[in-house]
Amino acid sequence: MEKNSYKDQIVYQIYPRSFSDSQSDGVGDIKGIVDKLDYLKDLGITTIWLSPIFSSPMEDGGYDIADYYHVDSLFGTDEDLDLLLKESKKRGLKILLDLVVNHTSDKHHWFLEAKKSKDNPYHDYYVWREKPNTLKSTFGGSAWEYNAETNEYYLHLFAKGQPDLNWQNPALRNDIYKMMNYWLDKGVYGFRMDVIENIGKDPDNLITANGPTLHPILQEMAASTFAKKDSMTVGETWCSNAETRVLYTDPKRHELNMVFLFDDFSHFENPKYGKWVRKPFVMKELREIIFHRQMVEQEKSWDTLYWNNHDLPRALNRYIDLKYRGEGAKMLLAANLFMRGTPFIYQGDEIGMVNGSFRSKEEYRDIETLNAYDELKSKGLDNKSIEKAIREVSRDNARVPMQWSSKAHFGFSNGQPWLKCSDDGIAWTVEEETKNPRSVLSFYKKALLIWKDRQFRDLLKDGKFIPQYEESDCLWSYRRIHEGKTLEVIANFSNQTQKLPKIEGQIILHNYNYRLSDNLRPYEAIVIYKD
């Protein structure tokens, strides 16, 4: 069995609801993804991470699963998923499923049974207590909800409709492993693991992440499922850092391949209002966090190279002066693509998509966003500031329908989209960007070809990461060195022209049309190779 194939993958995350609608009902679906497989192959990605497509009441965008074995009719049929697996394989594309096993939907039959009585065989698949403690839900309010049939409370770290599973119960664990093996046997390459840090929780001691039983459970999960195959696993872990993530990723521990830390996003949160009110962006602070991930325990960790996902406001809006939207989008790719780790591209990154253009509460759909109005008011924020906070940070910003062409709704759907499309002009569409050799999309294709080129594979996989010009407030620069070969990235992560340091070697990638003497223009990035 091939080992470590995950180190040669470029992952593209699809949020199916907003990717491509083949049924004209305004919602993206699996057949819509099948229709775009040639586009993805041509882009140069190798693996697709699908956000959840299983049966769900869609209280939390599908992250509330009611049946792990069947596709929700919103997204199509089980046969459509089989077709996607088959057509992806034909094109040499791998599929990661989104494993949401910290909780289910309250419509899952396990929960419908569990809530009936304390001696129901499924009752202890969930977490019940006689009375609530002070644990809070991420989506606002208490993390405990009363259940009259059994006169007790169940735990939900997210929405009330997302009861937490009790991972202390071996019967539950075995049912999850059985489901995981079912999908692995159907040809799924692996899993993105939703809030996997929470499954070892110890709620009586108010411990929700990185609990005492977490790593033994992950080792049991690996041994019982994906460790037996050539697979990829990536955990979502908001409460770890570059030092503690090795508990998940050290190959000797036989747990996961890598994790998303999100410390780059959380760092700019406001102590009182959390992610909703951002501290001013300071490039040096962002660079330090991301470079630090590269420097710590390189032999025990493998990084995730991402800027965006379905939960985050677009990085272009967080970090770039949008007067330079195209240059900035290309610079962001060049800035992290050549680091040590697996690149993750979120749908729309490749065409420079930015946040949505929401103007009223009625236009939002995300449960976390809609709950935030009351949550922020209760923390004393005035209405104007609440509107601004939500406009800038809502997860719906990342879920704006994909922009394919100049047709109605950007060619995403012939029906009324479930979520408002952006106010973008047609320049920021796949159709227009495909025609333009200087577009963000064209740059992505070129950069991914370089990344996959055998000439650079060992250097990018095993090369030492050396940061440089860290005294600069504007330069984002590092070298990768391996067996006498050097790949160097020098990016101007600012909207002001900077002096270009001395460079040696051949420029193999550049995000402007031409070089300009010894300056780096706003967001200008160059990648140099020397052997």
Of 319 and 523, the one with the shorter C-beta distance to ligand TEU is 319
Three-state secondary structure readout of 173-210? HHHHHHHHHHHHHCCCCEEEECCHHHCCCEHHHCECCC
- Which of 194, 219, 200 lies closest to 99, judged by CA? 194
Instruction: Compute CA distances 83 → 14, 76, 171, 318, whole Å.
Output: 17, 11, 32, 37
Question: What b-and-e string marks burial along 64-97, b requiring 16 or more CB atoms within 10 Å of the CB?
Answer: bbbbbeebbebbbeeebbebbbeebeeeebbbbb
For residues 147-166, which are near ligand TEU according to CB under 6 A?
A: 158
Q: To the nearest whole angstrom, how small is the minimum distance from the Cβ of residue 261 to ligand TEU? A: 13
- Which residues touch 436 (CB under 8 Å, ≥6 apart)? 442
Binding mask 14-53 for ligand TEU (x = CB under 6 A): ----------------------------------------
The answer to whether 303 and 479 have CB atoms below 8 angstroms apart is no
Distance of alpha carbon 245 from alpha carbon 235, whole angstroms: 10
Of 138 and 142, the one with the shorter C-beta distance to ligand TEU is 138
Q: To the nearest whole angstrom, how small is the minimum distance from the Cβ of residue 10 to ligand TEU? A: 20
Catalytic-labelled residue, pool 164, 236, 255, 375: 236
Provide the residue type at 515 as one letter.
R
195 binds ligand TEU (CB under 6 A): yes
Of 63 and 324, the one with the shorter C-beta distance to ligand TEU is 63
Name the closest residue to ligand TEU (Cβ): 63
Q: To the nearest whole angstrom, how small is the minimum distance from the Cβ of residue 365 to ligand TEU? A: 12
Binding test (CB under 6 A) with ligand TEU, winner from 21, 106, 197, 368: 368
For residues 301-330, which are near ligand TEU according to CB under 6 A?
A: 310-311
Q: Cα 323 to the chain's mean position, in Å?
A: 26
The answer to whether 137 and 158 have CB atoms below 8 angstroms apart is yes
Q: To the nearest whole angstrom, how small is the minimum distance from the Cβ of residue 395 to ligand TEU? A: 5
CB atoms within 10 A of CB 284: 15
Distance of alpha carbon 241 from alpha carbon 160, whole angstroms: 29
Number of residues that bind ligand TEU (CB under 6 A): 14
Report the half-sphere exposure of 275 (CA within 13 A, side-chain side): 21
Binding test (CB under 6 A) with ligand TEU, winner from 275, 314, 340, 391: 275
Q: To the nearest whole angstrom, how small is the minimum distance from the Cβ of residue 87 to ligand TEU? A: 26
Both tokens of residue 252?
A: 């000797």
Distance of alpha carbon 308 from alpha carbon 283, whole angstroms: 17
- Which of 249, 212, 218 lies closest to 99, judged by CA? 218
For the purposes of burial, counting CB atoms within 10 Å of the CB of 165, is it exposed (0-12), middle (13-18) or buried (19 or more)?
buried
285 is catalytic: no
Binding mask 220-239 for ligand TEU (x = CB under 6 A): ----------------x-x-
Of 21 and 64, the one with the shorter C-beta distance to ligand TEU is 64
Distance of alpha carbon 14 from alpha carbon 52, whole angstroms: 9
Of 209 and 508, the one with the shorter C-beta distance to ligand TEU is 209
Catalytic-labelled residue, pool 29, 98, 106, 194: 194
Q: To the nearest whole angstrom, how small is the minimum distance from the Cβ of residue 437 to ligand TEU? A: 35
For residues 46-75, which are near ligand TEU according to CB under 6 A?
A: 60, 63
> Is the CA virtual torsion 164, 170, 172, 173 positive or negative?
positive
Q: To the nearest whole angstrom, how small is the minimum distance from the Cβ of residue 366 to ligand TEU? A: 8
Distance of alpha carbon 302 from alpha carbon 233, whole angstroms: 11
Does residue 513 sit in helix, strand or coil?
coil
Does residue 259 sit in helix, strand or coil?
strand
Binding mask 113-152 for ligand TEU (x = CB under 6 A): -------------------------x--------------
Per DSSP, 403 falls in state -
Distance of alpha carbon 339 from alpha carbon 478, whole angstroms: 8
Binding test (CB under 6 A) with ligand TEU, winner from 245, 395, 409, 479: 395
Of 17 and 340, the one with the shorter C-beta distance to ligand TEU is 17
Of 94 and 310, the one with the shorter C-beta distance to ligand TEU is 310
Of 60 and 72, the one with the shorter C-beta distance to ligand TEU is 60
Of 207 and 427, the one with the shorter C-beta distance to ligand TEU is 207
Q: To the nearest whole angstrom, how small is the minimum distance from the Cβ of residue 516 to ligand TEU? A: 39
For residues 412-451, which are near ligand TEU according to CB under 6 A?
A: none
Binding test (CB under 6 A) with ligand TEU, winner from 100, 199, 353, 421: 100
For residues 471-510, which are near ligand TEU according to CB under 6 A?
A: none
Q: To the nearest whole angstrom, how small is the minimum distance from the Cβ of residue 268 to ligand TEU? A: 11
Distance of alpha carbon 204 from alpha carbon 25, whole angstroms: 45
- Which of 185, 256, 169, 257 lies closest to 221, judged by CA? 256
Of 346 and 456, the one with the shorter C-beta distance to ligand TEU is 346
194 is catalytic: yes
Q: To the nearest whole angstrom, how small is the minimum distance from the Cβ of residue 370 to ligand TEU? A: 13
Interface ranges with ligand TEU (CB under 6 A): 60, 63, 100, 138, 158, 194-195, 236, 238, 275, 310-311, 368, 395
Residues labelled as active-site residues: 194, 236
